[in-house]
Amino acid sequence: MSNGPATSTVHTMTDVWDAYREELDGVEDQVRKHLDSSVALVNTVAAHILSSGGKRIRPLLLLLCARLCGYRDNDHHILGSLVEYIHTATLLHDDVVDDADLRRGRQTARKVWGNQVSILVGDYLYSKAICHIVGFRNQAINEVLSEACRKMAEGEVLQLYYNGNPAITEPEYLRIVEYKTAGLIAAACRIGAIVGNASPDKEAVLFRFGQNLGIAFQLADDTLDYAANGDRLGKTLGQDLRQGKATLPLLHLLLHCPEQDKQMIKDRMETRTLTEADLLRIIALMQEFGSIAYAMERAREFVAAANTDLAQFEDSSPKRALSVVAEYMVNRDR
């Protein structure tokens, strides 16, 4: 099997999706194939969120990193599907923790079937993924995914610990992002390197590449919560603040806005009450004090760091595709 499309054809994210559609279809086939619980409700709930329009970024990164490292087989199809199962499990759990009603423009599983079902189906997807991963008998892959799952759980607890606390610092916020979001993206990249028999040094480079991408992705996502087109994003703007979460744009604003506005924001965080007038005021302040621009610039810094890591590899279709994906992380729907 070739390493992918001709390098001259991959310039945009649409090009990447098109060029690797056949490979991603292989991942999708595995996603559907393993939804085979004897309890029909489990399959129904899992299919509801798995079919809700997710981009399959993590499986894409896994397959691109595998191809970058010279991998020629197709085991990455099932590995990509299992990484997606783990990601989907976190979404089911997150929506319960956040009392979320919408995800990607559709009702969340918890809204349709309730919190208990969402949590248990999330547990099922975690377990399903781990059972299949063990079957690969590859200790390195086991360790990478086990560590990612541990970090995701710790990141969720850290986020809960700081919920409603406007005193959280930027380093503490970035630690939550590293654990909660970047960990699984970094793991997907490293697994690609492992199946491609890359050297330990190249494994570490691709892990760091994925970590930087994951942080950039979350910083951009948190900024879109205040700056995006809500209908295109598929969720209500200002949702983070309504849930008591202080993300990077808000942290920057709290450091620079007048005391009166700062107290208003802190009150809204602590009480988790936010009117449309409050939200419009906060967004206007973010524009005035450059908070949205600051957060996006920080996201771009992490993309630049990721591209520096990628520069250690020779030119190829997968490398160019990975560079396009990196830029996509901070240039999504706005």
All residues at 6 or more sequence positions from 2 whose CB lies less than 8 Å from its CB, including other chains: none
Place of tokens 């706005």: 334
Q: Report how far apart, in Å, the C-alpha atoms of 328 and of each of 136, 149, 189, 214, 260 are.
A: 32, 25, 16, 12, 37
Q: Three-class SS of residue 39?
A: coil
CATH, residue 265: 1.10.600.10
Residue 23 lies in a domain: yes
Q: Is the pLDDT of residue 61 over 80?
A: yes
Structure tokens at 196: 């491609």
User: 90 in a domain, yes or no?
Assistant: yes
81, 31 contact by CB (below 8 A): yes
Q: What integer pLDDT is reported at residue 187 of this predicted model?
A: 98
- Whether 1 has a pLDDT exceeding 60, the answer reads no
Helix (H) or strand (E) holding 183: helix 183-195
In a domain, 1, yes or no: no
Query: Percentage of the chain with pLDDT > 90?
Result: 79
Name the pLDDT band for 178 (thresholds 50, 70, 90). very high
Residue 159 lies in a domain: yes
pLDDT tens-digit series, residues 117-172: 999 999 999 999 999 999 889 999 999 999 999 999 999 999 999 998 988 999 99
Q: Which of 96, 117, 98, 131 is nearest to 43 (CA)?
A: 117
Q: Is residue 333 part of a domain?
A: no
Domains of the chain: total: 1
Residues forming a β-bridge with 102: 107
Give the pLDDT confidence score for residue 235 in this predicted structure.
55
- Contact at 8 Å (CB) between 295 and 219? yes
CA dist., res. 51 & res. 104, Å (int): 10
Q: What is the pTM of this model?
A: 0.93
The answer to whether residue 334 is domain-embedded is: no
Secondary element (H or E) of residue 249: helix 248-256
Cβ distance 91 to 220 under 8 Å?
A: no
Domain that holds residue 128: 7-328
> Is residue 133, in this structure, part of any structural domain at all?
yes
The answer to the question of residue 163 being in a domain is yes
Which among 142, 4, 141, 135 is positioned nearest to 60, based on CA atoms?
4
